[in-house]
């Protein structure tokens, strides 16, 4: 009897939450996601361009995954031996020291393994499924339909801000500052890789490594609009539908 009562209570709470909080603002949620589409398309396209340069992509990816975005070179030390770097507990010495040449911002762009386009399409489809002309139609649904939709809405409200943050992080990579950092890194006399970089008036980043074609990454990413306050308001109410 207690379980039956709790299930009925959760159903009532979920139905009320959907009718009063979620469905009335569903069109605004869809509009927020729709506004991100230009940036999604641009980042996906430019990420595919970088993928055609496996050597260059590997260098940048390692800088992000192993060095937190730091672009480094090993410089031969002067004046004798120096403590070995990067081998904690080894207690050895080395005649090379690590020098940080630059710092990459927007590391999510280089990692780029989550499929921004696919994630956007899934989230947009989920948000669109919440749009109904009459919120009262929820009253005609079965308990399973109401609970499934409330869980779907809760996942959407949780995942969209995370997606926006990842997308914003990736968009930050396409900047004049990053292009200059990569260019300075490639020009360092101790750079061990043959990497050619050209910055075209802040609009494009040209890249070319030994044996790879020359490509240009378009730095002019469309604006990343902020999410409306509806997401935060709904997030604070998701416990109602839990």
Instruction: Kindly report the average pLDDT of the chain as a whole number.
Output: 84
The gap between the terminal CA atoms of the chain, to the nearest Å, is 20
Render pLDDT for 102-158 as a digit per residue (tens, 0 to 9): 999 999 999 866 689 999 999 999 999 888 756 667 777 788 888 888 888 999 999
How far is Cα 207 from Cα 46, in angstroms, rounded to an integer?
Answer: 12
Tell me, what DSSP letter sits at residue 18?
Answer: I
Q: CA distances (Å), 158 to each of 82, 176, 229, in order?
A: 49, 32, 14
| Pairing verdict, β 215-218 and 204-209 | antiparallel
Residue 240 pLDDT: 47
pLDDT reported for residue 241: 45
pTM over 0.95: no
Predicted pLDDT of residue 205: 94
CA atoms within 13 A on the CB side of 145: 8
Cα torsion angle, 142, 143, 149, 150, sign: positive
**pLDDT at residue 81, rounded to an integer:** 54
Q: Which tokens sit at 90?
A: 């080894």
What letter would DSSP give residue 188? -
Q: For residues 111 and 132, is the Cβ–Cβ distance under 8 A?
A: no
If the chain, 242 residues long, is cut into consecutive pieces of 10 residues, what is the mean pLDDT of each piece?
Answer: 60 78 90 96 94 91 90 78 50 73 92 83 92 70 83 91 94 93 93 88 88 91 91 74 44
pLDDT of 87 reads: 47
Residue 150 sits at φ, ψ, to 5 deg, of -65, -40
Burial of 149 (0-12, 13-18, 19+ CB in 10 A): buried
């Amino acid at each position: 009897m207690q379980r039956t009562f709790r299930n009925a209570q959760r159903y009532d709470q979920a139905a009320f939450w959907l009718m009063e909080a979620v469905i009335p603002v569903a069109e605004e949620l869809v509009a927020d996601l729709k506004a991100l589409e230009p940036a999604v398309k641009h980042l996906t396209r430019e990420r595919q361009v970088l993928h055609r340069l496996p050597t260059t992509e590997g260098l940048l990816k390692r800088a992000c995954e192993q060095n937190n975005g730091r672009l480094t070179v090993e410089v031969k030390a002067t004046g004798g031996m120096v403590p070995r770097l990067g081998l904690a507990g080894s207690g050895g010495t080395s005649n090379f020291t690590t020098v940080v040449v630059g710092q990459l911002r927007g590391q999510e762009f280089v990692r780029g393994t989550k499929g921004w386009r696919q994630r956007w399409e899934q989230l947009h489809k989920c948000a669109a499924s919440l749009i109904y002309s009459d919120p009262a139609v929820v009253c005609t649904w079965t308990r399973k339909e109401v609970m499934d939709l409330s869980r779907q809405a809760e996942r959407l409200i949780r995942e969209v801000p995370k997606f926006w943050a990842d997308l914003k992080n990736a968009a930050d990579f396409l900047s004049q500052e990053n292009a200059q950092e990569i260019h300075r890194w490639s020009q360092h006399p101790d750079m061990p890789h043959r990497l050619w970089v050209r910055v075209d008036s802040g609009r494009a980043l040209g890249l070319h490594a030994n044996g790879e074609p020359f490509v240009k990454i378009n730095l002019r990413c469309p604006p990343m609009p902020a999410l409306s306050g509806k997401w935060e308001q709904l997030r604070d109410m998701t416990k109602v539908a839990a």
